[in-house]
Each structure stands twice: as C-alpha cells, then as structure tokens.
Amino acid sequence: MVTLLHIDSSVLPGEASSSRSVADAFREAWEEQHPEGTVIYRDLAADPVPHITATAWTGGFTAPSERTPEQSAAFAERVKLIEELEQADAVLIGAPMHNFSIPSTLKAWLDNVLLLGRTAGETPSAQGTPVVVVASRGGSYAPGTPREGYEFVQNYLEAVLKGTLGLDLDFIVPELTMAPRNPAMSELVPLYEASRERAFEDATTKAKELAERLAA
C-alpha cells in the first residue's frame, strides 16, 4: 500500500480556497488509483503545529541522554511530523500565497521537519519523494508580469523542498483567483477561468501519472 501525506494551509475553508479545491481534486484522483492506500491529512489552519521554539530546536542537536524533559517532549512532537514525511510515498501541499509568501502555519511545519543530519544534509531521509505543491495566488507573478519580483512562494519552496529536503518537486499554479471578486480585475476573469481549469486538469493528470509511476 502507498501513503500520501496531504497538507493544507489555506485559512479559507472548502471551495472558498483554490489551493484546497485543486488539492482535493488531486487527492480524489489519487485515491481512485489507490483505494487501499493511506492518506495522512494535516489541516494546518484548523490544527496548526507549534512554531519552532528554542527548546524544540536545541532538542534536535542534543544527545537523547542529555535532553531536558522539556526538550524531549518538544523534540518528540517534531519527530512525529518528520516520520510522517519519511513514511510518505508522495506528498501533496496546498500553499496559497499570503502577503507574497507562504502561510506562517506552513512555515512552522517546515521548521519542524527540517532537521540537519536527518531530513537535511548530505543524505536527506526523504530524498527523492515526489511532492506536488498547489501554489495558488490572487494575482499573477509569472515571468514577464509587473509583479514577477514579488514571487516568493515557488522560489522559497524550491529552495527548501527540493534544495534542502531533496524532494522531487512539481508545482500546480492556479492564479488570478481574486479576479471574480475584485472589480478592478474584471477583465482578467477569462484568464482566471483558464488558469483554474488548467489547474484542475493538471491535478488529475499529475495524480494519475504519479500513481502509475509508484505502482511500476
């Protein structure tokens, strides 16, 4: 059986969130291919993980026999998150753009799972695991657009997920999601609709392709 680790981080619920909606489409297609598989789901907006503390941080660099009770407890919470990542055959992350970057809850999850000498370093423990990120955004930050220089979601996640954790990274990017709700963006609605349709198609296609790849 295969395991999918599915992480949502949008503050918006259900269909109000593009990242959640597209991620759900990916997951549905995935589960069709793996009806007997396991999905580990974390909704970081509804149930956030602790932001990293000095106790949890230093616990990762302290020998088990020398940890204080507080360090042991804090580090044990990090280990749960790390093991979920290590046990996953694939990872799905909903990462909407909040103020030009990722939600703080997703950053907290990353801070917890990044552990030098285990998940990061010369031989990252989850190296090669495929990860699909649904990186939604209200506008467009694609190359050549006026706000290209404000794109800190894909750039950051590529550095962390691919460059540090060694994951096999792929993106789905639904953009211009504010167009239907912002009168100033009304002329961009057709582009939003095309982007949304493409994102759902990509989600279904990538889920099936990844499922076939893992089954091979």
DSSP per-residue codes, 143-200? TTSTTGGG--HHHHHIIIIIIIT--EEEEE----TTTTT-GGGGGGHHHHHHHHHHHH
Residue range 177-193, pLDDT digits in tens: 999 999 999 999 999 99
Give percent above pLDDT 70 in the chain: 100
Strand partners, 170: 132
Output the CA angle 125-126-132, nearest 5 degrees: 165
**Contact status, residue 189 vs residue 179, Cβ threshold 8 Å:** yes
pLDDT band of residue 13 (cuts 50, 70, 90) is confident
User: Which pTM does this prediction carry?
Assistant: 0.95
Looking at every residue in the chain, the average pLDDT score rounds to: 94
H helix runs in the chain, sequence order: 18-33, 54-59, 69-87, 104-113, 153-157, 189-215
Output the CA angle 120-109-27, nearest 5 degrees: 100
Amino acid letter for position 51:
H
Residue 192 tokens, joined: 């939003």
What is the maximal distance between C-alpha atoms in the chain?
63
Report the pLDDT value the prediction gives residue 29, as an integer from 0 to 100. 96
- Alpha carbon 53 to its chain centroid, in Å, reads 22
Which residue from 89, 72, 179, 84 is spatially nearest to 128, judged by alpha carbons? Answer: 89
Residue range 14-70, pLDDT digits in tens: 888 999 999 999 999 999 998 888 999 999 999 999 999 999 999 998 999 999 999
Residue 116 confidence (pLDDT) above 90: yes
